[in-house]
Structure 1
Amino acid sequence: MARHARARLSAGYAARRMSETRKKATAGTYFLTGYPGFIGKRLVEHIAREDPKAHIYALVQPKNFKEAQQHAARVKGARVELLTGDVVDMHLGLSGEEYQRLCERVTDIFHLAAVAQLGVAKETAWRVNVDGTRNMLELARDCGNLARFNYFSTCYVSGDRVGVIAEDELDRGQAFRNAYEETKFQAERLVQRAGATLPITVFRPSSVVGDSRTGEIDRFEGPYYLGILLVTSPLVVPLPLPGNGVAPLNVVPVDFVVEAVWRLSKDPRAQGNTFHLVDPNPMSARRVYELIAEKSNKKLPRFNLSARAADVMLRLPLLEKLARPQRAAISYVNHLAIYNCHNTLELLDGTGVRCPPLSSYLDQLVAYVREQYRKRREGSDEDDPLDSGIAQDAEGR
């Protein structure tokens, strides 16, 4: 449909404000962005199991449509309907009929789509993270049966703040270390403001790592995987940790995130609130590093590197290719931020959903990463970046 026609449709929908058309939802109809992303795929699977009579609409970029089709065909339970589009486009790139259908039927929105790479250009991050969220809020306002708008933010909207950070805090004059933090902050501001007229819930996960049962993850980025890289480097001696490593390294497994989001999205008490999806008792970066090194059968260096020196080290020829995405995460290893999760603990109390300690699933994470790096190195003349001790340890369990 031409842009001028879409504009007329938008004006018509805008006239039907949420407060005038709200109806009691009789069946779950879900609309999800960020599919078939790492968290998005698992959330779709979870919704389909928990609400098998529901209808799930998933917004998919054309370049990801084949992958989405393959995954959706394997989902058991609720029906998954794929819609080709993009959050950055007017009406999300949907036809007038598709957009109207969503407005009439959708009861729950899960907005996951985002550019999350730490080194992304600000212009790109702004277009997807901020403008895309603005477009999703417009859709939400046009949905007459909307029960909840669930927004995936990040605990790193706190920027360079240190100390204890509460769930109800957002703008505290912080600066930002990269475009990802800044644009997610600006996007959350839009969502929080929209909460005056929309039933919103904001989720702020820390660094999401692999499944606590299988270790599976699709992207090796962030401070946790930086630690794995450092101790499993191709060098004979593992690299020293950047800084002193006393700051907490807060990571959460993807299965906990999905289960927590689902529970809270259905809890009336969660409406209008923000939730830190974090490990309530994180280990220090140093302790995580030590545990990974132990599982690699390697001894730790007795000295530390400054963040600047670590960045230089990760540019060495043997490490540069592996470490390019992780260099941007160095600043997180020594950032003394403590994320209070009172809201999350209170509302999940008694549900059986809780964040497991990293020590309980670290074996699975390390084994999975090791296997993926092994596959990438097959046929290469370079040494396997992971010590064989991990394989022996994993097989011995």
Structure 2
Amino acid sequence: MVLVTGFPKLLARRVAGALASRGPVVLLVPEEHAEPAADFAATLPDARVLTGDVASMHLGLSTAEYRDLSADCSEIVHVADSSNVGADKPALERENVEGTRTVLELAQDCRGLRRFTHFSTVFVSGDRVGVIAEDELSAGQSFRSFYEQSKFEAELLVRRAMGQLPCTVLRPAFIVGDSRTGEIDRFDGPYIVAGLLLSTRLQVPLPLPGDGVAPLNVVPIDFVAAAAAAIHHDPRAVGRTFQIVDPNPSSSRRVYERVAEREGKKLPRLSLGYKLTDTLLKLPGLERLTREQRMAFATVNHLSFYSSRNTLEILDGTGISCPPIEGYLDKLIEYAQKARNKGT
């Protein structure tokens, strides 16, 4: 039986769906989401719901529930986290660090555990630039947000547990909508940048930061779920880290120019470095941008290239590969526009 945390996140639902064909699934779900979780579980071949809290002792379960779970659980996929870069440090530490610590404690108590798979993020690299390998974590980097720092600290916990537990770490790039439908449950990061670049409410035209050569490190959610399931089930993945990325990412400028073209607009050709961009964001009309919006601009201007050698090794021969964004960008735009029109 596999335990999946993170509901109601779309990623948790997609991962649970990808794992369901291999055996029973248990969803750990906050109490306020129990009803929709039960509805979702009913769509899977063999799934049930446990209400709890990843950051509480024994996951917020009763003594009997925790005892039964630790006896029956052979696999854990830890998807739950807070990805809100605008959240304060205590909230992020509770969900991302303490939540990971608590789920690792469950893993220690599972007598028949075969795999613990932890969802991290490529952004544990912080402000590092250049090529970043999968086996690298602590490299003297600084962090641009409490979110990055909390995910780094959570991954450290998992790395330290690798000597005692069969752990695997997954580091997806920024997750965007399904490559076939555009479906996504959160319009942040690259979506925020697109919205601001095309906004008619800004008092000054907003250029794309930098010269636009920085790669847009995004991956569609259907690829992430399929890759995660394949890696999770592969015995070669134990004790290793996998960056789930587009091995040939397009530049930020190329992607956003295409987005602008669809709206009948052109991006300013002005090129600014990160520090000048930060100054620009403080100009009248822009100084009210949120922390999340500022972070989104910093991300698309970052010259980081994530190696995915381990991921490519495991996925070789599976038929699972990351599609180029040019092939599904229209789907992302259409889905975002429909959601905006609905007011979601």
Give your verdict on TM over 0.5.
Answer: yes
Partner of 2:308: 341
Matching residue of 2:30 = 61
| Partner in structure 2 of residue 71 of structure 1 | 40
Q: Aligned pair 1:285/2:226, yes or no?
A: no
> For residue 161 of structure 1, what is the aligned residue in structure 2?
128
Which residue type is aligned with residue 192 of structure 2? Answer: L
Structure 1 residue 301: Cα displacement: 2.0
Extract structure 1 runs of 4+ deviating beyond 6 A: none
Change in CA separation of 1:365 and 1:238 when aligned onto 2, cut-off 3 Å: farther
Give SS of 2:243's match.
strand
Amino acid at match of 2:213: V
Question: For residues 317-328 of structure 1, what are the structure 2 equivalents within 5 Å?
Answer: 325-328=292-295
SS of the aligned residue for 2:34 comes to helix
SS across alignment from 2:264: coil
**Alpha-carbon contact 2:193-2:297 (below 8 Å) kept:** no
2:105 to 118, 125, 138: 138
- Cα distance, 1:66 vs. partner? 2.5
Q: Could you tell me which of 69, 74, 92 is aligned with 1:107?
A: 74
Shift of 1:104: 0.9
- Counting only pairs closer than 5 Å after superposition, residues 148-297 of structure 1 correspond to structure 2 as 148-222=115-189, 224-235=190-201, 239-297=206-264
Q: Give 3-state SS (helix, strand or coil) of 2:343's partner.
A: helix
Q: Distance in 1 between matches of 2:154 and 2:117?
A: 13
Contact 1:231/1:292, CA 8 A, preserved across alignment: no
Q: CA deviation at 1:310?
A: 4.8
Q: Kindly state the Cα deviation for residue 324 of structure 1 after the two structures are TM-superposed.
A: 6.8
Q: Distance in 1 between matches of 2:231 and 2:87?
A: 31
Asked whether the equivalents of residues 314 and 327 of structure 1 are also in contact (C-alpha less than 8 Å), the reply is: no
> Residues of 2 paired with 1:241 and 1:268: CA distance?
43
Could you tell me how far apart the structure 2 residues matched to 1:315 and 1:102 are? 53
Please, which runs of 5 or more residues in structure 2 have no aligned partner? Answer: none
Q: How does 1:2-151 map to 2 (within 5 A)?
A: 29-48=1-20, 50-51=21-22, 54-73=23-42, 75-77=43-45, 79-151=46-118
Report the Cα offset of residue 375 of structure 1: 1.7
TM-score (norm 2): 0.93
Counterpart CA distance in 2 for 1:296 and 1:235 is 15
Structure 1 residues 69 and 315: alpha-carbon distance in aligned structure 2, compared to 1, 3 A threshold: farther
Task: Report the 3-state secondary structure (helix = DSSP H, G, I; strand = E; otherwise coil) of the residue aligned with 1:326.
Answer: helix
- Give the Å deviation of 1:313: 6.2
Question: Could you tell me whether the CA contact under 8 Å between 1:311 and 1:330 is conserved in 2?
Answer: no
- Equivalent position SS for 2:281: helix
Identical columns (%): 50
| Structure 2 CA distance for aligned equivalents of residues 342 and 116 of structure 1 | 26
| Structure with bigger gyration radius | 1
1:13 corresponds to which residue?
none
Contact 1:280 1:340 in 2 (8 A): yes
Residue 296 of structure 1 and its aligned partner are, at CA, apart by 1.8
Q: Are 1:165 and 1:339, in contact at CA under 8 Å, matched by a contact in 2?
A: yes
1:371 match: 338
Which amino acid in structure 2 is aligned with residue 308 of structure 1?
D
Structure 1 length as normaliser, TM-score? Answer: 0.81
1:77-122 per-residue CA deviation (whole Å, 9 max, x = no partner) reads 2x22111110111100001111111111111100011111112111
Judged with a 3 Å threshold, the aligned counterparts in structure 2 of structure 1 residues 235 and 125 are, in CA distance, closer, same or farther, namely: closer
In 2 relative to 1, CA 355–238 (structure 1 residues): closer, same or farther, beyond 3 Å?
Answer: farther
Deviations 1:134-165 (A, max 9, x none): 11111001111111000000011111111110
Structure 2 CA distance for partners of 1:99 and 1:247, relative to 1, 3 Å: same
Give a deviation string over 1:310-354, Cα, whole Å, max 9, x none.
53469559x96xx77433211112111110000001111110001
Name structure 1 gaps, 5 residues minimum: 1-28, 378-397
Count of residues in correspondence between the two structures: 340
Secondary structure, counterpart of 2:25 in structure 1? strand
- Is contact 2:28–2:52 with CA below 8 Å preserved after alignment? yes
Whichever residue aligns with residue 219 of structure 1, its letter is R
Per mean C-alpha deviation after superposition, the further-off stretch among 198-207 and 116-125 is 116-125
Distance 2:223 2:154 in 1: 24
CA distance in 1, matches of 2:110, 2:166: 11
Question: Counterparts of 2:232 and 2:102 in 1: how far apart (Å)?
Answer: 21
Q: Deviations over 1:235-289 (max 9, x none)?
A: 5996321232221111000000000010011111011100000110011111111
Distance 2:172 2:230 in 1: 15
